[in-house]
Structure 1
Amino acid sequence: MLTNELRYFLAVATSGSLSTASEQLYVAGSAISRQIQKLETRLGVTLFERHARGMILTDAGQILANHVRKSMRDMEYALAEIQGLKAVRKTLVRIACTDGMAFDLLPGLLARFRQHYPGVSFDLQVGSAMQVAEWIRRSECDVAFQFSLAPEKEVEIIAAWPAPVLLLLDSAHPLVQQSGVAIDDLHPYPLVLPEAGTTIRQLFDLSCRMAGTFLEPAFSSNNFSALYEFTRHTPQAITVCSHFSVLWRARLDAMTLKPMTNTSLSQRTLQIQVPGSKHRPAAVSAFLAMAEHILGEEHGKWMQDLG
C-alpha cells in the first residue's frame, strides 16, 4: 500500500497542480507540499520543477512516478488474482503441447492442479511443433509446453529446462549397466523412433550422420504412446525421449532413462510458453506457478540421479 508521501506525490504528478491534488484528496495543499518536500529530502533529489503554471516532474520525479504506477498496477493484479482464485467457479484453461508431453507429463500436472482447484477445466490440444508455435503466437491457447531447439519469438518463456534426448529401455536391458553408450552401441537392438521431422528425430538422425552410421527403426510412429508401449512389449527394444515425457510413468513401469555420449543430443529445452504482453487470468497464473515448481523439482531429482 502507498504511504502518504507517495500518495500525495502521485496525485500532484498526475494532476500537475498542488491545488488540484488538494481537491482530489481532500487534504490541504500545504500538507501535501510538506510531504513532497519530506520525500525529496529523504531521496536527496528534486522531484518537481515548481512554476506558476504548476508542478512539472524532473527526470528523477518521472522515474519515481513510473515506478509507483507500476507498483500499483502489480498490486491491483495481485489482488485481482487472489480474489479470482477465491471466486473461481468454472474457468477454462487452454493448453497446447507436442505429442510427447501429452502422454504422461500434462495429464499428471492437470490432475494435480484440479485437486486444489476443481472449478478449473482444461482443454488440451496436441499438435506438431510448428502448430503449437503458431497457436501460442496467435493467443489461441493460454499456455504451451514445447521442446525447442532455439528461443521462440513473439512469446514469453515462463521457464525452461534442458531436455536432452535419452534412451528409454527396460531396467533389465543389457545397455543399462554399460557406461558411455554411443549411437553405434544401438545396432544389435530393435530401435523404436518417432517420425521424421520432430525435434527429437532431427537430433537423433544428426547424431547418426555425425557418427557415420545408419540405424533403421524396427517401428516408427507419430504417436508417443504407441512408441512407448511397443518398446515395453518388445524384448530388448529401445526408444528415445526426454525425461519429462515419462516423468512418472517410467518409474511405474520399471523403465530406465539413460543418456548417450553424443553431445548433439543435448540441444533441446523444454519451454513453458505464454502469449507475449498479455495479462493472465488467475487460474492460468496459478497453474503456471504449480507447473514451474513441480517440473523444477522433478528435473532436480533427475539430475541428482544422473550423478
Structure 2
Amino acid sequence: MHSTEIRYFLAVANTGSLSAASKQLFVAVSAISRQIQQLETRIGATLFERHARGMVLNDAGQILENHVRKSMMDMEFAIAEIQGLKAVRRTVIRMACTDGPAYDLLPQMFARFRAINPGVMFYLNVGTAQLVSETIRSGDCDLALQFSLTPERGVDVLASYPASVLLAMRHDHPLAHQQVQLGDLHAYPLAFNEPTSTIRQLFDLSCRMNGIFLEPALSCNRFSTLYDFMLCTPGALVACSHFSVMFKARRDRLVLKSINIEQLSQRTLQLQTQAGRHRSAALSQFIDFSCELLNREGAAFERDFGL
C-alpha cells in the first residue's frame, strides 16, 4: 500500500470527515476521497460508514487502523534502537490507570523510579475502568494499572495482586479496635466511589446479598475527595483497597478494617500491557521495578496493618 493512501486514511479516521482531513493535511477533498477509494479498491472492502455529517470506521476499517498504528509503533521502536536510544535515557512511558492507584501509589512509584532513572518521563491518563481497558487494548498507552473483576480481552496481565475492599478510618474512630460487620456502618458517614466503579459494585452486591441498605454521605468519582472527606469528617469511613492508601495511611495514622464477606475479596490489582506489545528497555525496567515495589510494600503494609 502507498504511504499517501495510509496517511489520508488515518487523517479521515482521526477527524471523522473528508473536509476536516482536508484542513488538517492542506490537501483538496477530492484528492483525499480518491486516495481512500483507491485504498478500498486495493483491499477489496469498504473501510468507512459514510454519513451526511461525516465518516466512521466500520469493522474492516478498525482492523486496518489497528494494524497500521501497530506497524507505525514498531517502526518507531526500530528507529530508536538503530539510533542507540533503546537504553534508559530520555524515554517517555505512557500509562493509564483508574482513579485509586493515581492518588497515592503511582506518584510514589514514579518518584522512586525517577530517582534511579532521571531521564525517564511519565505520561499518565486517569479514567474509568472501561476507558483504561480501551486505551491498553488499542495500544494508546504502554502500561495500565487498574482494579479488575474479570479477564481482559487483548491484554497481557504482567502481574496480579489481591485487592480486597477495605474500610479506612482515622485512628480515633469508634470501630478502629473491633471487628466490623456491614450492619455496623449504618451509624457512620460513608464515602464511596461512584456506582459504576468496581469497588462500589462489590459493596452494593454485598449489601443486597445480606439484606442491608447503606446510603453514602458522599459518592464521588475522585478518590482524593473521598479520602479528604474521611479525614475531615468525624466518624467517616472510606471504602478502598490498601493499594490506594499504601503510603499515606502511615502518614495519616489510619486504621484499615476488612469485612469478612467473600464478594469484597474478588478484585485484583493488575499490571497490564497490550497483548504482544514490544517493550522498550525503559518499560521493561519499570515493569520489573513496579512488581518488586508492589510485592515488597504490599507485604509490609499487610503485616504492619494486621490485614
TM-score (norm 1): 0.71
Q: Distance in 2 between matches of 1:84 and 1:107?
A: 29
Q: Distance in 2 between matches of 1:192 and 1:279?
A: 40
Q: Distance in 1 between matches of 2:270 and 2:299?
A: 16
CA shift, 1:89, in A, is: 3.1
TM-score (norm 2): 0.71
CA shift, 1:254, in A, is: 0.9
Aligned to 2:290: 291
Opposite residue 299 of structure 2, the aligned amino acid is G
Percent identity over paired residues: 54
- How many aligned positions are there? 227
Aligned to 2:257: 258
Q: Distance in 1 between matches of 2:248 and 2:303?
A: 19
Gaps spanning 5+ residues in structure 2: where? 1-79
Q: Distance in 1 between matches of 2:88 and 2:155?
A: 26
CA distance 1:85–1:244, shift in 2 (3 Å): farther
Q: Distance in 1 between matches of 2:230 and 2:210?
A: 24
**2:89 and 2:117 in contact (8 A); partners too:** no
Structure 2 counterpart SS, 1:118: coil
Opposite residue 194 of structure 2, the aligned amino acid is E
Q: Distance in 2 between matches of 1:249 and 1:220?
A: 21
Q: Distance in 1 between matches of 2:161 and 2:86?
A: 31
Q: After TM superposition, list the pairs within 5 Å mapping 1:19-58 onto structure 2.
A: none
Whether 2:134 is the aligned partner of 1:134: answer yes
Q: Distance in 2 between matches of 1:86 and 1:136?
A: 22
CA shift, 1:85, in A, is: 8.3
Q: After TM superposition, list the pairs within 5 Å mapping 1:143-182 onto structure 2.
A: 143-179=143-179, 181-182=180-181
Encode CA deviations 1:3-60: one digit per residue, 9 max, x unaligned.
xxxxxxxxxxxxxxxxxxxxxxxxxxxxxxxxxxxxxxxxxxxxxxxxxxxxxxxxxx
Encode CA deviations 1:154-210: one digit per residue, 9 max, x unaligned.
11111001000000100111111112x111110111111111110000001011101
Aligned to 2:217: 218
Aligned to 1:123: 123
Opposite residue 102 of structure 1, the aligned amino acid is A
CA shift, 1:87, in A, is: 4.1
CA shift, 1:262, in A, is: 1.6
Q: After TM superposition, list the pairs within 5 Å mapping 1:58-207 onto structure 2.
A: 87-179=87-179, 181-207=180-206
CA shift, 1:104, in A, is: 0.5
Opposite residue 216 of structure 1, the aligned amino acid is E
Opposite residue 129 of structure 1, the aligned amino acid is A
CA shift, 1:88, in A, is: 3.4
**2:97 and 2:144 in contact (8 A); partners too:** yes
Aligned to 1:277: 276
CA shift, 1:292, in A, is: 0.2
CA shift, 1:86, in A, is: 8.4
**1:189 and 1:238 in contact (8 A); partners too:** yes
Encode CA deviations 1:76-125: one digit per residue, 9 max, x unaligned.
xxxx99x9788433211001000111100001100101001111110000
CA distance 1:106–1:221, shift in 2 (3 Å): same
**2:193 and 2:220 in contact (8 A); partners too:** yes
Opposite residue 233 of structure 1, the aligned amino acid is C
Structure 2 counterpart SS, 1:151: coil
The structure with more radius of gyration: 1
Aligned to 2:228: 229
